[in-house]
Amino acid sequence: MEKEIKETIPQHYYTEKEANKLSTYIEQQYGEADFVGHELVSPDIHCDIVVIPPTEEQPFYKLVTMGAGAYKMNIPKELKSDVCDRAEYVIFLPQNWDIKSDKEEDYWPIRMMKIVARLPIDLDDWLCYSHTVNLTEDGSPVAQNTKFNSCVLLPAIGKDGQIVKPAKLGFLGKKVNFYQLYPLYQEELDFKIENSFDKLIDTFGDKITDSLIIDINRKNFCK
C-alpha cells in the first residue's frame, strides 16, 4: 500500500529576539500598542496585527503587521542592493472605526494587510514602493461600504511625520522595511498601469499625504 505524501508548506517566523526587537521598534515609530490581533491559523507566516490607539496628537488608529518580514522575498539580483527583501505593512484608520468588528465592512482593511503580506509567498515574488496589488480576483470592491478594490505601496509614515527607516534585527544585516498601504479605485489602478506610478502621484498631488487615514468615501482622482 502506497503511503500518502503530504505537501508541507515552509513556515517563516521571527526568532524571539527578532520579534522583541521589532516590537520595540514599532513602538518607537508609532506609539504604544493597545493590543495585538493574533492570527489563529498561520500556514506560512504568523501575521499578527499591532494596533496603536488614537491619541490627542494623532486621533486615528495605526495598524502594523508583525510577521510578514520573517519571509525573505525573492528580489531580482540586479535590485538586491537597492530593495529591502523583508517588509511589514501599515495602515491608518479613523478613530471611530470599529477595530474589533468581524463584519467585512469593518474588517476589509485588515484583510488587505494579510493579502499583501502573503502575496510574495504565494507568488514567489516581491513587493516594494510603487507596486500595486489587486485585492479581489474579479476586480469587485473589497466591501459593500466602499468602491476600493486594490492598493498601492507607499513609504510608511511614523508618528513624527517622517518616513520610517528599515528596522535592523540582527548582526547579519537582516533589515525589515515598512510600507504604507493606500487603497485605490479601479480607475486609479488603471491609470497607474497605463501611465506610471509617478504620474499617479502627480494626479493625487498634496492630497495623498493628507489622506493616509483610510476614507471609504474619498475622492476618486482618476474618475
User: Which pLDDT does position 133 carry in this prediction?
Assistant: 98
Residue closest to 186 by CA, chosen among 152, 128, 139, 145 = 139
Residue closest to 54 by CA, chosen among 14, 106, 93 = 93
Dig out the grid coordinates for 202 from the structure.
502627480
User: Which pLDDT does position 37 carry in this prediction?
Assistant: 93
Looking at the predicted structure, is the pLDDT value of residue 158 above 80? yes
Q: What is the pLDDT of residues 47-67, one digit of tens each?
A: 999 999 999 999 999 999 999
Buried b (16+ CB within 10 A) or exposed e, 50-86: bbbbbeeebebbbbbbbbbbbbebebeeeeeeebbbb
Q: What is the pLDDT of residues 92-134, one digit of tens each?
A: 999 999 999 999 999 999 999 999 999 999 999 999 999 999 9
Q: What is the pTM of this model?
A: 0.93
Residue with cell 476618486: 220
Q: What is the pLDDT of residues 139-152, one digit of tens each?
A: 999 999 999 999 99
Residue closest to 222 by CA, chosen among 153, 152, 128, 136 = 152
Residue closest to 147 by CA, chosen among 177, 117, 188 = 188
Dig out the grid coordinates for 175 from the structure.
533589515
Looking at the predicted structure, is the pLDDT value of residue 3 above 60? no
Looking at the predicted structure, is the pLDDT value of residue 6 above 70? no
8 pLDDT band, cuts 50/70/90, is low
Q: What is the pLDDT of residues 166-206, one digit of tens each?
A: 999 986 779 999 999 999 999 999 999 999 999 999 999 87
What's the Cα-to-Cα distance from 113 to each of 49, 92, 107, 135, rounded to whole Å? 9, 11, 10, 10
